[in-house]
Amino acid sequence: MKLQLSGQGKNEAMYKPGPPGTVKALRMNPTVLPDESVNPRLAKILEEVAVKKELIVALANSNVREMLEVWFTNIKRVGVPNYLVVALDDNIESFCKSNDVPVYRRDPDEGVDSIAKTGGNHAVSGLKFRILREFLQLGYSILLSDIDIIFLRNPFDHLYRDSDVESMSDGHNNMTAYGFNDVFDEPSMGWARYAHTMRIWVYNSGFFYIRPTIPAIELLDRVAGRLSREPKSWDQAVFNEELFFPSHPGYEGLHASRRTMDIYLFMNSKVLFKTVRKDAQLRKLKPVIVHSNYHPDKLDRMKAVIEFYVNGKQNALEHFPDGSE
């Protein structure tokens, strides 16, 4: 019955709808049956690290060592025990072990290792869609995190867990983050000049919670497949296209449920530097995380976030420009 209701059985389940206003479709796809044979070594690590079958996962190579240290130092300070660094080179593996940070070094894989050692941020970011698949196959829910993120509270206390993918947004206000009706005006059409469109700013592929479901695994496969076939594509753009594009001629859309995270709890750096730091009321709110995704001076802004939210230095954010000028 669960398989049928989630749309994965061959026959649709038949049931009688209730009165108007009482009918709700299923939001939760069933989780997959864990298969430890996929990666017994990783399964053993996850059994020791995860809490309630979920954990934070980050990928890192030596290019981001300094930011990685800031990342895991704040996770420790907040008191989150269930996190894991996927080391993409030997130096990061040793660095994590020397700092008592849970670490996993994948078995040699020529296709992954060549990117892991020499690739830039976008190339390395694309690897996560290949690597996370094993975590889901083993039955674990993953909170994927880039390392340009400061943790200020335990994120697991603020998740809804009601969708295949629960992601932070690149939107900077309620409209852009949660969607709005945008009217396109074409005067030459006369009476029909106004066309209504639905707009939403993209999900950030550097911070999302993903459950071990068939649609979630299909999402990872779709994105990884496209990135391998389209080497010039950006992983975040592909991630959003596969999540949002509907079925249409020549294309079958992904049947995955999704939720947008609260932009003031799971905060991107545009929200912080353009809005929050200038608003007396919003400055009092303590976010769960701050992601320095909108700015290239990531490490400096990460340190300033710590000064402001952790050490109480009220002017720590003031000298930065809104953008990257």
Report the pLDDT averaged over residues 284-290.
97
**Adjacent-strand bridge partners of 184:** 195
Instruction: Output the six-digit token pair for 235.
Output: 């992983």
Please tell me the distance from the alpha carbon of residue 17 to that of residue 23, in angstroms, as a whole number: 6
Q: How far is Cα 259 from Cα 168, in angstroms, rounded to an integer?
A: 9
Strand partners, 149: 291
The reported pLDDT for the residue numbered 1 is 47
Location of structure tokens 């594509």: 233
Please give the helix or strand (H or E) that residue 77 lies within, else none: helix 65-78
Of the candidates 275, 286, 281, the residue with the CA atom closest to the CA atom of residue 323: 275
d(CA 152, CA 134): 28
Whole-structure pTM over 0.85, yes or no? Answer: yes
Structure-block tokens of residue 231: 């080497």
- The phi and psi torsions of 57 (rounded to 5 degrees) equal -130, 135
Q: Which pLDDT tens digit goes with each residue over 35-76?
A: 999 999 999 999 999 999 999 999 999 999 999 999 999 999
Span 162-176, pLDDT tens digits: 999 999 999 999 999
| Model confidence pLDDT, tens digit, residues 88-109 | 999 999 999 999 999 999 887 6
What is the three-class DSSP state of 61? coil
Structural contact between residues 109 and 88, judged by C-beta atoms closer than 8 angstroms: no
Long-range contacts of 31-35 (CB under 8 A, 24+ apart): 31/139, 31/211, 31/212, 31/213, 32/136, 32/137, 32/139, 32/212, 32/213, 32/214, 32/217, 33/139, 34/137, 34/138, 34/139, 34/212, 35/137, 35/138, 35/139
Distance of CA 14 to the CA centre of its chain: 35
pLDDT tens string 265-275: 999 999 999 99
pLDDT at residue 13, as a whole number: 55
Residues listed for the chain:
325
Q: How confident is the model at residue 15 (pLDDT cuts 50, 70, 90)?
A: confident
Q: Could you give all domains of the chain from N- to C-terminal order, each with its CATH number?
A: 36-311 (3.90.550.10)
pLDDT confidence of residue 108: 72
Measured distance CA(276)–CA(250) in Å, rounded? 44
Q: Which pLDDT value is given to residue 124?
A: 67
Question: In this model, does residue 110 exceed pLDDT 70?
Answer: no
Q: Cα(290)–Cα(149) distance, rounded to whole angstroms?
A: 6
